[in-house]
Structure 1
């Protein structure tokens, strides 16, 4: 045996444990950022099922349990690998997980049913192709984990291992339930507390814009030819069609899709956001799914605030129809005005239905789940 190969064999245990820790920590990170915002994971799975359409589109009711199961599995695999608990079982689970996710992310990269995979929640945005490359890399690492699994020594007795697993599972579900019934303990979205919404909607004067490539198809004597915008033909050619391709995307402000409309589709976004005093946004993306107990608490909360501070403004934001809005206001005796906003934007603003957001001069000063008021 040469000295070089001897050194390599001597480093093997270090490399194997580094591989174990890397895989484990990535699984923990992926699971943790989803567990912080379980409702966001539910929305992402719904997006996938809707995008796949067909039979999948009718399975959106499974998004909620699927999200909790996915998060729990990721956290359990990751924690088991980090602490070397039930190592052989966890190695197989990690390999099986990547065996499913790698071809799935290849399909997503090829056909682009969703623009963001959501593998790291809102904490880290990764393109679909980068997600696939990442999964190929970790598929290889999990395969190595299986090949060399006998090189890892058992650390804990079986009863102790099952004790660890019980703690991991209970803690994972407890953490998810807390974030679901309150609000995420870490807010990775652009409407976090402390953010001035109007400022986050501004585009700097020197910001780059979208760059497009234009191609024009012209015909002459039965032959068609493609021309660029700088090389357009003379009048003897007949225009047929135009192709527009986005070459590079320009600057997009952190908040670029917030539009608040009246029932008559009048844009009142600036009026609502630029109010210098205190205002409360009551966010209910779907009135038919709004918690009855939650809206009663919101109503009591708003009534008390208006008694204490009559100058406070209250606006309800929803994506529901005008008919649903009128029925909802009548049913609960609500007098504050309702406005229409895109449902995805409302889900991004606050992970609750109903949710309450406090603004002072357009700056987010507080956010609450309506059920916890």
Structure 2
């Protein structure tokens, strides 16, 4: 039994540390996933949505530190109880998502290892069995070094996790697993490998217009409609493949300009997915950088999912020298974890990508 508990202890501890670190690398992305769970179509607890980032930070740091506590043998009763409660909750959540097809990716390992809802559920069931073995055999969990050092190890782990979280929030994730990472060519990521059949994806955009909900279906372009944006749902026809980038469309008054932007020699993209929640402190840097880029021959545009009224309001109030264009909010959240943030493109290839806090580090 000691051998079985030791194996379970190592597997669970390492998995908790790995899962926690992957999400800690991108707490904003994990908060988006929590917002999806909190939304009305899933758990229907929208009052938690404004606190999603704080909840995400707490969960990932707690998860990572719990893994370390299990490995070193610190407070086995508290550790095993905490892990059991967490895994029961997440097993229920992944089953609910899989059975009712509510969330297509649980976010357990962020963008590093995407899992289907059923894969997430089976993973949690295996973890539950391992944690139950640990829970009912707490007495055989021995510390790996003197107990006097345990509190310092746990404290140092917490402080290091908090510091790392602060760093990625003020800059960008240290490890980028998304298709929009530096060096990737967007047009290439929009294509499927030779021989693969592309799936048809239908978008259902929801707006509140004059107090009533209106749904518009299309293939991805943000609808030009006067109303409050509520959300968007996607459905896939058949089991065919979807390219890594399948929802990158830039729409303006002149229509779809996606191809023009991706073929341009020098482009500065200012990404601000929501102008209501955008960080106003970042706009002095936005204005300075955009003016410098224009002087050096860059095409400068901003991408947002907000409506024209908000676009014009912020453009006039801050005296901005560039135009806003419409892009899907989910795509913009995927592109960069900053609102606003910057991308530098050369013929569709991402050469630089920065948080607004690091605008001065962009080389034009």
Instruction: Pick the TM interval, shorter chain.
Output: 0.7 to 0.9
* Aligned position for 2:51: 62
* Aligned position for 1:249: 239
Task: Check 1:52–1:165 CA distance in 2 against 1; reply closer, same or farther (3 A cut).
Answer: farther
Contact 1:197 1:363 (C-alpha < 8 Å) held by counterparts: yes
The match for 1:360 among 343, 346, 356 is: 346
Alpha-carbon offset, residue 17 of structure 1: 1.5
| Equivalences for residues 137-286 of structure 1 within 5 A | 137-204=126-193, 206-210=195-199, 248-263=238-253, 266-275=255-264, 277-286=265-274
* Aligned position for 2:294: 306
- What residue ranges of structure 1 are gaps of 5+ in the alignment? 1-11, 212-244
Alpha-carbon offset, residue 356 of structure 1: 0.2
Q: Establish whether residue 99 from structure 1 lines up as the match of residue 85 from structure 2.
A: no
Residues 59-96 of structure 1 show CA distances to partners (whole Å, capped at 9, x for unaligned) of 21121111011101110111112232223321221112
* Aligned position for 2:35: 46
Provide the rounded CA distance (Å) in 1 between the counterparts of 2:345 and 2:242: 23
| Equivalences for residues 336-351 of structure 1 within 5 A | 336-351=322-337
Instruction: Give the match's secondary structure for 2:321.
Output: coil
Alpha-carbon offset, residue 156 of structure 1: 4.4
The match for 1:329 among 308, 315, 322 is: 315
Aligned length: 325
After TM superposition, the score normalised by the length of structure 2 is: 0.85
Contact 2:23 2:60 (C-alpha < 8 Å) held by counterparts: yes
Provide the rounded CA distance (Å) in 1 between the counterparts of 2:240 and 2:338: 32
Contact 1:98 1:138 (C-alpha < 8 Å) held by counterparts: yes
- What residue ranges of structure 2 are gaps of 5+ in the alignment? 201-234, 360-364
Provide the rounded CA distance (Å) in 2 between the counterparts of 1:293 and 1:274: 32
After TM superposition, the score normalised by the length of structure 1 is: 0.83
Instruction: Give the match's secondary structure for 1:288.
Output: coil
Contact 1:196 1:363 (C-alpha < 8 Å) held by counterparts: yes
Task: Check 1:89–1:39 CA distance in 2 against 1; reply closer, same or farther (3 A cut).
Answer: same
Residues 292-314 of structure 1 show CA distances to partners (whole Å, capped at 9, x for unaligned) of 2211111111222333x1x2111
CA-atom RMSD, angstroms? 1.9
Contact 1:209 1:249 (C-alpha < 8 Å) held by counterparts: no
Instruction: Give the match's secondary structure for 1:64.
Output: helix
* Aligned position for 2:301: 315
